[in-house]
Amino acid sequence: MTNQTASPCIKICQLDDDAICIGCYRSALEIGAWSKADNATQQAILATAQQRQRDYAARRRNNTLASNNTANK
């Protein structure tokens, strides 16, 4: 089997409390499955990781805004 999709790993391999890598936003299970996954599965993993990254960024922004609003009261 040939992996046609480059790994999204950026060598910041650290899992958060939800077992999500803070570097590539893949889950521990997705990371483990990557090397044996076919191209379609890898593309699906990438799409999920990209959405997860957007969701995390939105949550951080919302938490920052909430913290700023609380501090300003």
Asked if residues 49 and 25 have their Cβ atoms less than 8 Å apart, the reply is yes
Reply yes or no on whether the pLDDT at 65 is more than 80.
no
- The pair of structure tokens assigned to 64 is 């920052």
Q: Is the pTM of this model over 0.95?
A: no
- pLDDT grade for 63, boundaries at 50, 70 and 90: confident
Domain positions in the chain:
11-68
Q: Give the tens place of pLDDT for each residue, 37-59.
A: 999 999 999 999 999 999 999 98
Residue at token pair 């300003």: 72
Chain mean position to CA 20: 6
Beta-carbon-side half-sphere exposure of residue 21 (alpha carbons within 13 Å): 21
Amino acid identity for residue 9 in this structure: C
